[in-house]
């Protein structure tokens, strides 16, 4: 299993930091942000409120400090003042009616002393009794208003009240958040004389991570069989369907409400368009390969196009996607010889950044999906000229104890294939064979008498057990083209 999409901030699930006894307690939902997702914006919101339940008796003049690491905070977002609502301590549950009886705590007002990229400092400016019209956090956790006619008893305590930083009251600077990796929030309070009053564990606002897509390949490694005229291949699972690429989307990309994944970035504007999965290879040896119903299928994703050179599918949901090839064990009646080749796959995601701009990013480019090789000796002569005054010299030396034939494929300079699997000589064990004459005759039979040709020689001897010497004469001057 391989991980992709590096150096990315990923979203975290709802997190509650467990505090020690007699300490303030953070409760909040974090919404992660990817490096790509925050393109187009300077700052971003966490997408949810942060609540800090205090666990001390606060007095006017006491100091509360919030600290954000990496200078990642937006200094202009810290609110100038915070009202800390009273909480119900007992009595009849406040439910919005009149004539209810409840015991409640004190309420606080905090005024900002400073706000910077590294955090903010507040001072308690008021500690007062709640009155008619004030908000109280009821025993069921809902906000209720004290109505005229309610009987309210105030306890001389601030323990259990919560400082709430609403969505948008802590903004993070995009570049700094990406640079920091993990952005954390710390809290501490002290009296106006500097005596420690209240603390909370440092908590993470974002979580650094690596992955958005997992992928695996059942690679198409196999051997093209020369004894079958190169029209069949052999693999370890030749009779089975190849599950060539399996992708598992472990994250949703932009939908905070998506219960099946974790959010890509703050907000619920839109999901990403999807991941395009591409498998490239040369399947021209398969008759009517572009008929997807016969040879190609996709599970968990949509098959967009099938061609002899590329298969494309789009993956839009969290979960697994597989491109499968059902090409049996090869084709005994393939119309052409099967080409040695590398198979590759790629992923590209199209998404909206936080600024509302559509962007694309390659998650994988030319990943390894397997290789087909000949099960015998082969070599390529990259350049061999033909024409008046030019003669060719090509010898194949067999260093094995196996005798076998030599076949040639040839292409013109413009890429036109003019020879395919044409016999040009027979090798004796531990001997050498001249093949240039029969090669020239085969080319001439195809009308090639004056051109520059690329030649591939394939011999019925084991890989590594033969060598080819090639050269040509131009008006008596010999030029070597290779010794492979």
Q: Is the pLDDT of residue 35 over 80?
A: no
Average pLDDT over residues 342-371: 79
Q: Which domain holds residue 387?
A: 377-483
Q: List all residues 6 or more positions away from 2 whose beta carbon is below 8 Å from its beta carbon.
A: 214, 215, 216
- Given 356, 374, 392, which residue is the final one in a domain? 374
- Residue 39 in any domain: the answer is yes
One domain, residues 358 and 406: no
Q: Give 81 or 346, the one with higher predicted confidence.
A: 81
- Report the pLDDT value the prediction gives residue 361, as an integer from 0 to 100: 76
One domain, residues 256 and 289: yes
Q: What are the CA-CA distances from residue 59 to residues 109, 118, 157, 197 (Å)?
A: 11, 25, 10, 10
Q: Is the pLDDT of residue 2 over 60?
A: no
- 415 close to 393: Cβ distance less than 8 angstroms: no
- Residue 5 in any domain: the answer is no
- Residue 6 in any domain: the answer is no
- Report the pLDDT value the prediction gives residue 332, as an integer from 0 to 100: 56
* Total of domains in the chain: 3
- Report the pLDDT value the prediction gives residue 432, as an integer from 0 to 100: 94
Question: Highest mean pLDDT: which of 237-246, 301-310, 341-350?
Answer: 301-310
One domain, residues 455 and 327: no
- Residue 459 in any domain: the answer is yes
Q: Is the pLDDT of residue 233 over 50?
A: yes
- Residue 297 in any domain: the answer is yes
Q: Is the pLDDT of residue 363 over 90?
A: no
Average pLDDT over residues 215-231: 78
How many angstroms separate the CA atoms of 312 and 316, rounded?
A: 13
Q: Is the pLDDT of residue 134 over 90?
A: yes
Q: Is the pLDDT of residue 208 over 90?
A: no
Average pLDDT over residues 257-270: 38
- Report the pLDDT value the prediction gives residue 397, as an integer from 0 to 100: 96
- Report the pLDDT value the prediction gives residue 17, as an integer from 0 to 100: 35
- Report the pLDDT value the prediction gives residue 207, as an integer from 0 to 100: 64
- Given 209, 237, 252, which residue is the final one in a domain? 209
One domain, residues 358 and 421: no
Instruction: Indicate yes or no: pTM above 0.75.
Output: no
Q: How confident is the model at residue 335 (pLDDT cuts 50, 70, 90)?
A: confident
Q: Is the pLDDT of residue 355 over 80?
A: no
One domain, residues 329 and 398: no
Per-residue pLDDT tens over the stretch 389-434: 899 999 999 999 989 999 999 999 999 999 999 999 999 999 999 9
Per-residue pLDDT tens over the stretch 90-105: 999 999 888 999 999 9
Output the average pLDDT for the chain: 82
């Amino acid at each position: 299993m391989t991980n992709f999409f590096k150096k990315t901030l990923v979203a975290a699930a709802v997190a509650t930091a467990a505090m020690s006894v007699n300490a303030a307690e953070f409760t909040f939902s974090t919404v992660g942000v990817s490096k790509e997702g925050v393109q187009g914006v300077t700052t971003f919101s966490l997408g949810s409120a942060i609540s800090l339940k205090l666990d001390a008796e606060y007095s006017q003049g006491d100091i509360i400090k919030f600290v954000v690491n990496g200078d990642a905070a937006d200094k202009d977002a810290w609110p100038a003042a915070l009202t800390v609502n009273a909480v119900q301590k007992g009595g009849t549950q406040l439910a919005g009616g009149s004539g209810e009886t409840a015991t409640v705590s004190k309420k606080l007002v905090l005024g900002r002393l400073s706000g910077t990229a590294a955090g903010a400092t507040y001072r308690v400016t008021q500690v007062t009794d709640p009155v008619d019209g004030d908000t109280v956090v009821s025993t069921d956790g809902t906000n209720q208003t004290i109505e005229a006619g309610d009987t309210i008893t105030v306890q001389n305590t601030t323990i259990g009240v919560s400082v709430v930083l609403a969505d948008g009251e802590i903004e993070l600077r995009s570049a700094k958040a990406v640079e920091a990796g993990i952005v954390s929030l710390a809290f501490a309070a002290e009296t106006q004389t500097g005596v420690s009053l209240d603390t909370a564990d440092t908590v993470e606002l974002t979580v650094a991570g690596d992955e958005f897509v997992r992928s695996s390949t059942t690679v198409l490694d196999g051997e093209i069989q020369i004894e079958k005229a190169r029209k069949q291949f052999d693999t370890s699972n030749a009779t089975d369907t190849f599950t060539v690429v399996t992708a598992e989307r472990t994250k949703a990309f932009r939908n905070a409400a998506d219960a099946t994944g974790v959010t890509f970035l703050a907000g619920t504007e839109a999901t990403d368009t999807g991941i395009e999965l591409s498998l490239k290879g040369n399947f021209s040896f398969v008759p009517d390969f572009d008929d997807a119903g016969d040879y190609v299928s996709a599970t968990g994703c949509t098959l967009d196009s099938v061609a002899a050179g590329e298969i494309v599918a789009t993956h839009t949901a969290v979960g697994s996607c597989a491109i499968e090839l059902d090409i049996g064990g090869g084709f005994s009646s393939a119309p052409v010889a099967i080409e040695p080749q590398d198979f590759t796959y790629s992923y590209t995601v199209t998404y909206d950044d936080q600024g509302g701009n559509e962007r694309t990013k390659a998650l994988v480019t030319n990943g390894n999906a397997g290789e087909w090789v000949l099960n015998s000796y082969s070599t390529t002569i990259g350049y061999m000229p033909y024409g008046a005054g030019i003669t060719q010299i090509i010898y194949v030396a067999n260093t094995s104890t196996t005798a076998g034939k030599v076949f040639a494929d040839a292409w013109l300079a413009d890429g036109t294939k003019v020879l395919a699997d044409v016999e040009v000589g027979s090798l004796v064990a531990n001997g050498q064979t001249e093949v240039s004459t029969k090669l020239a005759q085969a080319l001439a039979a195809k009308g090639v008498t004056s051109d520059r040709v690329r030649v591939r020689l394939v011999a019925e001897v084991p890989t590594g057990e033969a060598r080819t010497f090639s050269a040509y004469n131009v008006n008596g001057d010999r030029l070597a083209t290779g010794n492979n």
